[in-house]
Amino acid sequence: MHTKFHSKSIELPPAINRLSELACNVWFSWNDSAKSLFSAIDPELWEHSGHNPVRLLMEVQRPVLDALAHNGEFLNKYGTVMEQYDHYFRTPTWFEQRCPEYAQKTIAYFSAEFGFCESLPIYSGGLGILAGDHCKSASDLGVPLVGIGLLYKKGYFRQKFDAQGRQLAESAACHVSRLPIVPALAPVQSNPPAERTPEELYVSLPMADRTVRLKVWQVQVGRVPVFLLDADLEDNSSWDRELTSQLYGGNQDVRIAQEILLGVGGVKALRALGIAAGTYHINEGHAAFLSFERLKEQLDNGLPFHVALEVVRASTIFTTHTPVPAGHDAFPLPMFEYYFSRLFAEYPHAKAALTELGWDVHKQLFNMTYLAMNTAALRNGVSKLHGHVSRDMFRAFHGNIDVHEVPIGHITNGVHLQTWLAPELKELYSRFLPETWISRHTDKEVWKSIDSIPEESLWSVHLTLKKRLFAHVHANLREQLRRNGMPSEKIEAVQTFLSPEALTIGFARRFATYKRATLIFSDLDRLNRLVNHPDRPVQFLFAGKAHPADHSGQEMIREIYRVSRMESFRGKIILLENYDMSLAQSLIQGVDVWLNNPRRPYEASGTSGQKAAMNGVINFSVPDGWWEEGYDGTNGWSIENHDHADPWTQDRENTESIYRLLEQEIVPLYYQHGPLPAQWVARMKRSIRTLAPVYNTDRMVMDYVNETYIPSLQRTQLFADNDYAEATKVADYKKFIHQSWHHVRVLEVNDTPPRTLNSPSGTTSTAPLKEVTATVRFGPIWYQDTAIELIHYEERPDGWHQVVVPMEPARQLGDGAVVYRAMIPSHLKHGPHFSIRVLPVSANFARRFEVPFVTKF
């Protein structure tokens, strides 16, 4: 792409020497044939390495490799995989065909965490997995994207449970030399390039009273390079060296410093790599300080601050993932000023303006989401419902407007199909879906062929995946008990836990309190009747991590553990430790039902249920996040919810709905008479057919390309042309509006009574429409730079909806006043039924209501 990718130097026999290249591109992680190839080298070592091909190749005995280099069967397999690998990079991509004129542009994607594979543990949960899947689909589609993140050498943490069910957070040290990661190389400056060895890349950035040096590492994700910053260098202080040691660790000082490294250091790394990104995508507010560095660059180029801000805004996209105000990072002013003291000393005239970009007046804190909102022209939530929640949360940013008008859209999250779909199902789908179904899996027509799969074939594969999950569960539990000193008979008894014939429900996610992992334990007697029914038993699998500082989340884990140890639930309600990508894959592929019961609307999107759906696992969820739009009444079950009720009432109503649906619908459907639950399999098919083509990251990334990346690249180019003439025009216009809007007044509204109509028969009636006029004084603002609108509401079957009626200029008066007119339903009266509003408009705004000035009367 923009940088030459190089693999680790691993000594291999010539016949199989490209294995090191394959091992250093996490393309292997979503290609079953590649994983099978590595497993064939040494199956036991492949498992022991955590499916890490670099470690595998470094630790396998040389005689084993020499033997494989002469093994015809292995060489055939090797040749097939390398041909698939080369074909992947040769094949024309969707982006090249859809947007050839932007193929040489770059989208820089900043995220605090990335989840690519279990062997690279620099993720904690959903945000990181989403970022990893985003990069994988960007690679598959050929989107010219580069990722920027931090290299956490101690990862997040490895979770263990003690004998009382307490979570133990064990450091998960990453040995970089044995990971699919290589040092990024500095570009050769001479032209033509000099004949010399490229140097490893380092960048430095000022922070507070010192300079922090960072090493840049590269992870190759198919076609997409992801650059990770590492502060663990001898040049840095011991405190600074720890900044990139652990994800979401430490206090607020650590957090703000990490976010400066990510945002400011990330931009510096791109510059050092010679990558001139056309668009910057802030994936959650952690990376928002990138805008500070980009503003500084524009100021150094001589642009005034207000013009520099428009240039940065034009080329920045912000995705928010957090539906509650408390979840957004915010820092005290003295801390913020301390860490940026050198920037403010260098640009004292810009200090107030930079601070204002993230200033929360009410809480007197510098808020990272505010900074992202104020420096990104395009903003989006991660589901339809979360878009609404975000518009409501940030309504104050945009003046006195209706919540649906707030310029924050939504692009619903998805998951990477090739990563999360079981290999056995890929094989089954390939027998019945069109030949090109994997490359066309966003096409709903492709998935109609799911109905042609014989019920017994789909059910047989599902039972295979279920048994494989149970083997994973038994191994997890045996290790748990062994480590906690349990006697051998108790360890061996684990093999009797779980029945492949029993309805199995999975619940696995981060143990945050709003996700209510213990909700189903609200009525243990009723749960006991479900779990121990003589003919129709139900069993539950739980997994997930709680943040080490989240004591409430850890108490939920202990409660699940306590219930799982009760005699009536032993072996039927199970808590698994160390939830990671590998365990997640087993769970979402092997259970029968995926349970999700967050307190609505606190689940921004959620993606685990999307992974389950494509594997034929049926969702059973509160209508929150993605399920609010994914559920159609036939493809799963929706837990009854009234989100305007108080939390206690919601919990009670949700619990009752869960039990009622289990008892009356889910359990009876699963336990149909006969060896094959035909109606259950029909619902599995319906779930796959309706959800798989929509809730995947190929569709999601296509949406980002069409709705944000291309418009942003176009706007960036427009603003940079002719020495930033358009950017200056827009910035000056906004500045003028800010200075002059107080002159705008609605002087008068003339609500003319409706005309009386006389019929030939002598009866009278009221005309259906009447004219309304409004007189507006603009002062120095040109009236055509504004929109005058009449606002009223009308009742529809789904509630009251705002109606916007544009008013047209009728005549100009003296003193800069203009009379406007509009026709509206005659029964409406000014004041109780409708109002008039005035707002600034411009064809060069990225969104309507870009300037937060709305005058109402």
660 and 580 within one domain: yes
Sorting pLDDT into bands at 50, 70 and 90, what band is 647?
Answer: confident
Are 404 and 355 part of one and the same domain? Answer: yes
The DSSP code for 186 is P
> Looking at the domain assignment, is residue 3 inside a domain?
no
Q: Assess whether 241 and 192 both reside in one domain.
A: yes
Does residue 125 form part of some domain?
yes
Looking at the structure, tell me whether residues 566 and 715 fall in a common domain. Answer: no
The Cα–Cα gap between 635 and 357 comes to 44
Pair 294, 212 in one domain: yes
pLDDT bucket at 196, cuts 50 / 70 / 90? low
Domain stops at, among 90, 124, 141: 90
Residue ending a domain, among 55, 73, 90, is: 90
Q: Is residue 198 very low, low, confident or very high in pLDDT (cuts 50, 70, 90)?
A: confident
Q: Is residue 727 part of a domain?
A: no
pLDDT of res. 1: 43
In-domain check, residue 734: no
- Percentage of the chain lying above the pLDDT 70 cut: 98
- Please, is 558 exposed, middle or buried when counting C-beta atoms within 10 Å of its C-beta (0-12, 13-18, 19+)? middle
Residue 194 has pLDDT above 80, yes or no: no
Residue 464 domain-assigned (yes or no): yes
pLDDT value for 248: 83
Average pLDDT over residues 678-687: 97
- Please report the pLDDT score of residue 5 as a whole number: 63
The yes-or-no verdict on residue 396 having pLDDT over 90 is no
Q: What is the DSSP letter of 753?
A: P
Whole-number pLDDT of residue 2: 44
pLDDT at 380 > cutoff 80 = yes
382, 518: one domain: no
Instruction: Give the angle subtended at the CA of 579 by the CAs of 573 and 585, to the nearest 5°.
Output: 90
Q: What is the pLDDT of residues 573-623, one digit of tens each?
A: 999 999 999 999 999 999 999 999 999 999 999 999 999 999 999 999 999
**pLDDT tens readout for residues 219-274:** 999 999 999 999 999 999 999 999 999 888 789 999 999 999 999 999 999 999 99
pLDDT digits (tens, 9 = 90+) for 337-378: 999 999 999 999 999 999 999 999 999 999 999 999 999 999
Confidence of residue 451 (pLDDT cuts 50, 70, 90): very high
From first CA to last CA, the distance across the chain in angstroms is 55
Asked if residue 422 is part of any domain, the answer here is no
Query: Residue 284 above 90 pLDDT?
Result: yes
pTM of the model: 0.95
Residue 745 pairs with which residues in a beta bridge?
777
pLDDT given for residue 195 in this prediction: 61
For 756-774, the pLDDT digits (tens) are 777 777 677 778 899 999 9
Q: Is the domain of 788 the same as that of 716?
A: no
* Domain count for the chain: 4
Is the domain of 669 the same as that of 753? no
pLDDT digits (tens, 9 = 90+) for 273-283: 999 999 999 99
Q: How many whole angstroms separate alpha carbon 279 and alpha carbon 294?
A: 12
Domain end among 68, 90, 112: 90
**Which structural domain, as residue segments, surrounds residue 198?**
94-413+705-721
Task: Give the Cα-Cα-Cα angle 793, 799, 802 (nearest 5 degrees).
Answer: 25
594 near 506, Cβ under 8 Å?
yes
Is residue 254 in some structural domain?
yes
Of 245, 233, 222, 289, nearest to 150 by C-alpha is: 245
Could you tell me the pLDDT band of residue 91, with boundaries at 50, 70 and 90? very high
Side chain identity, residue 52: N
pLDDT tier, 731 (very low <50, low <70, confident <90, very high otherwise): very high
Q: Please report, for the domain that includes residue 398, its CATH number.
A: 3.40.50.2000
685 is a domain residue: yes
Does one domain contain both 77 and 107? no
> Do 66 and 104 fall into the same domain?
no
**34-66 pLDDT per residue, tens:** 999 999 999 999 999 999 999 999 999 999 999
Per-residue model confidence as pLDDT tens digits over 132-159: 999 999 999 999 999 999 999 888 888 9
Q: What share of the chain is helix, strand, coil (3-state, %, to 5)?
A: 45, 20, 35
Q: What is the mean pLDDT of the segment spanning 423-439?
A: 96
CATH number at residue 791: 2.60.40
Q: Are residues 621 and 715 in the same domain?
A: no
Above 60 in pLDDT, residue 305?
yes
Rounded CA gap, 151 and 523, in Å?
Answer: 44
288 and 387 co-located in one domain: yes
Q: Which of 600, 676, 596 is nearest to 637 (CA)?
A: 596
pLDDT of residue 760: 73
Of 107 and 3, more confident: 107
Interhelix angle 126-141/697-704, nearest 10 degrees: 70
* Distance in angstroms (rounded) separating the CA atoms of residues 506 and 701: 28
Sheet containing strand 618-621, strands side by side: 573-576, 538-543, 503-508, 593-596, 618-621, 636-638
